[in-house]
A and B are shown apart, each in its own frame.
Chain A
Amino acid sequence: MTRAQFEERFFGVLRWVVIAFLAVITLLPFYYMVLLSLKPIDALLLDPGSLWLSAKDFTVSTYRDVLRSADSGGQGFLKFLLNSALVSLGTVVLTLVAAVPGAYAVSRLKFFGHRQVSALFLAVYLFPATLLAVPLFVVFAKMGLSSSLVGLAVVYVAQTVPVSIYMLKNYLVTIPYSIEEAAMLDGCSRLQTVRKVILPLALPSLMATGLYVFMIAWNEFLFALLFLAADPDKWTVSLGLAQLSNGIEVPKTVLMAGSVVLTIPVVLLFFAAERLLTEGLTSGADKS
């Protein structure tokens, strides 16, 4: 057998081994999460190694426990879900309101500094979140915003606007300029052109960007921890889960139901828009 034949065969087999390995490491943790969320805690302690669910163990009381409000003996995750949804949706709206004109300007208009501006915004990511955390923590504590969801959303907007501009800009440059010129000739002002011509055309990109921002805001933990830790009424789902998992009083399977509840919205959205998202993120990557 020549070296080439050997290698062809070897990598032919190895490829399937790698694929199987990747499938296991990515899916198994999520399977484990759902599995434990459907068991009572005794079943977990009795046989921690079991990877399947017997019919007599099956329960959804974990979900009832985790969602019910604290007053009626639950963990109050329904309230946390509401908080998370409010913050995330608010962030999406505000980010898009700021990012759409910004991206349009960067992609179309030759204004003073238009070349540098997107690089400048992306530089935001070079600064550690911890560097921002200190002063924001102090300011929010002093302004009384420290346990307010609005303050949190504003911080998220600043964190997500730069990447939104980048994603939107990559899409906007693919829209032919002549369409816009036609609109201008027909008497549209700049704002009208953006609203009536560009926005409808950029809808796929807007949705992808909005989803990405939603996921960032929904998953965020550090700033939520710094600003909201003192006020359990304002906890987001991420924060609630992290705070409760430090203690020992809440059974792990109930918290596992909490993590399923936390994960599901993001995963559903992601699968609904996977193609949109991956293309929005990596467009431009293949040109480098």
Chain B
Amino acid sequence: MTTAPAGAPERPDSSPRPTDRPAPSGRRPLSAARRANRAGLAFVSPTFLVVLVVVVLPIAWTVLLAFQDAKLVDIQGMGLFGNWSLDNFSQVFDSAGFWSSLGTTLLYTAGSTLGSVVLGLIAALALRKPFRGRGLLRAAMLLPYVAPVVAVAFVWEVALSPQYGVVNDWGRRLFGWDDPIAFLSTREYEVHLLGLHFDIPLALLTVIAFECWRYFPFAFLFILARLQAVPDGLEEAALVDGATPTQRFRHILLPQLMPVIALLCVLRFIMTFNKFDDVYLLTGGGAGTDVAAVRVYDFLTARYDVGAAAAQALVLAVSLMILLGFYFKFFGNKVQEDS
């Protein structure tokens, strides 16, 4: 909060300066560096203020709430501190399905991240060289990413519906499915293959497919931008040396793309780990897709248990930090060396 007082005197100070200059007053003018410092702090202060009030303080309060016994109804009379307890955490850790939900979250995050980045990479490679209509297709491919999540989730829901969905209808016609498949509400789907049968978590896979579909344009955009900055000479040299397309990709392009791919993986991992909308809209968190973010929402709105919701959110954030910590400890240096 030191920015506000620093910013306040700046304005009256700066406007008279041009007139001051011909006849310097007795007061020594501020040095350019100090003026830049003041102006800089004044200019960032609105942003700083908004972020402080709407992001930093609420997060700090979440941490406090997580250690208190707080229900929405009695939060009014409660002080900021007091009623310390670890009940929320024991409730979160002991509640049915906590660990499986964390596992689901991990699976969902890893699958979606990997899928969307790989699909984005394939798309970028396919659209690398110009062809007729490339610009149009490039723009069209960003549609899943820019379209409102509620609208596209609803389209998927209808398309996959067992009663009136286009996918099941075509599945019956083309592949001879006997029964319609409820993609979004089947926890385990039995697959018979070569005499073996597996249970696949169908709803979870569907949600992951949705996530890959929705976010591959993001990866595509960044990888394509990087791809077009790869100097032509490198590949031409490899071509002259007789390298095949796979070799050129493996040894020339991939090393060039690795930093941006690593960055994308980290970004997508963080975003997906905290993702709420997509799963909530598609399955409501049922049928084996109860990712942790949806559990926070359930604690908050179904039971008005603010403390437990805060604790669950905190556990989620801490797990993410631990995972990122591992990543940067083991891979952070490697990526830097590669680039």
Which of A's residues lie within 8 Å of B, judged by CB?
3-4, 7-8, 11, 15, 18-19, 22-23, 25-27, 29-30, 32-33, 36, 44-45, 47-49, 51, 97-99, 101-102, 104-106, 109-112, 114, 117, 121, 124-139, 141-142, 154-155, 157-158, 161-162, 165, 187, 189-191, 215, 218-219, 221-222, 226, 237-239, 241-242, 245, 252, 255-256, 259-260, 262-263, 266-267, 270-271, 274, 278, 281-282, 285-288
Assess whether B152 is interfacial by the CB under 8 Å rule: yes
Q: In the docked arrangement, what's the CA distance between A32 and B149, Å?
A: 16
Assess whether B1 is interfacial by the CB under 8 Å rule: no
Closest A residue to B229 by beta carbon equals A286
Closest B residue to A35 by beta carbon equals B166
Task: Knowing A131-B316, A190-B39 are in contact, say whether A19-B127 is a contact too (CB < 8 A).
Answer: yes
Specify which chain B residues have a CB less than 8 angstroms from the CB of A49 in the assembled complex. Answer: 166, 169-170, 173
Specify which chain A residues have a CB less than 8 angstroms from the CB of B59 in the assembled complex. Answer: 127, 131-132, 135
Assess whether B47 is interfacial by the CB under 8 Å rule: yes
Contact B297 A133 (CB under 8 A): yes
Contact B137 A19 (CB under 8 A): yes
Contact A23 B137 (CB under 8 A): yes
Q: Which of B134-156 contact A (CB under 8 A)?
A: 137, 139-144, 146-152, 154-156
Specify which chain B residues have a CB less than 8 angstroms from the CB of A7 in the assembled complex. Answer: 244-246
Q: In the docked arrangement, what's the CA distance between A244 and B44, Å?
A: 41
Closest B residue to A288 by beta carbon equals B259
Most chain B CB inside 10 Å of its own CB: which residue of A102, A106, A238: A102
Q: In the docked arrangement, what's the CA distance between A260 and B154, Å?
A: 11
Q: In the docked arrangement, what's the CA distance between A130 and B62, Å?
A: 10
Contact A288 B260 (CB under 8 A): yes
The 10 closest A-B pairs by CB, nearest first: A111-B40, A49-B169, A128-B274, A109-B40, A158-B54, A105-B43, A259-B151, A286-B229, A101-B43, A135-B58
Contact A128 B316 (CB under 8 A): yes
Q: Convert B1-23 into 0s and 1s, putting 1 for each residue whose CB lies closer than 8 angstroms to a CB of A.
A: 00000000001001101100000
Specify which chain B residues have a CB less than 8 angstroms from the CB of A32 in the assembled complex. Answer: 155, 159, 166
Task: Name 19 extra pairs, CB < 8 A, besides A129-B293, A252-B158.
Answer: A8-B244, A18-B122, A19-B131, A29-B152, A29-B155, A99-B47, A126-B270, A128-B274, A131-B316, A134-B58, A135-B62, A137-B306, A138-B72, A142-B75, A161-B51, A189-B18, A241-B150, A262-B151, A267-B146
Assess whether B123 is interfacial by the CB under 8 Å rule: yes
A-B contact count (CB 8 A): 284
Assess whether B191 is interfacial by the CB under 8 Å rule: no
Specify which chain A residues have a CB less than 8 angstroms from the CB of B143 in the assembled complex. Answer: 26-27, 30, 267
Contact B148 A218 (CB under 8 A): yes
What are 26 A-B pairs at a CB distance below 8 A?
A7-B246, A19-B126, A23-B137, A30-B147, A47-B169, A48-B168, A49-B166, A101-B46, A101-B47, A102-B47, A109-B40, A125-B270, A127-B59, A128-B273, A129-B293, A130-B297, A131-B317, A133-B296, A137-B306, A158-B50, A189-B15, A238-B150, A259-B154, A266-B148, A267-B147, A270-B142
Band of interface residues on B: 35 or more
Specify which chain B residues have a CB less than 8 angstroms from the CB of A191 in the assembled complex. Answer: 11, 14
Specify which chain A residues have a CB less than 8 angstroms from the CB of B316 in the assembled complex. Answer: 128, 130-131
Closest B residue to A269 by beta carbon equals B146
Task: Knowing A124-B51, A127-B317, A259-B151 are in contact, say whether A282-B225 is a contact too (CB < 8 A).
Answer: yes
Partner of A114, one of B40, B76, B154, B221: B40
Partner of A190, one of B14, B72, B151, B245: B14
Specify which chain B residues have a CB less than 8 angstroms from the CB of A281 in the assembled complex. Answer: 221
Closest B residue to A256 by beta carbon equals B158
Q: In the docked arrangement, what's the CA distance between A141 and B297, Å?
A: 15
Contact B151 A241 (CB under 8 A): yes
Contact B17 A29 (CB under 8 A): no
Assess whether B252 is interfacial by the CB under 8 Å rule: no
Report the stretch among B96-104, B110-118, B199-207, B307-315 that lies at the interface. B307-315
Chain A nearest CB: distance from B86 CB in Å?
18
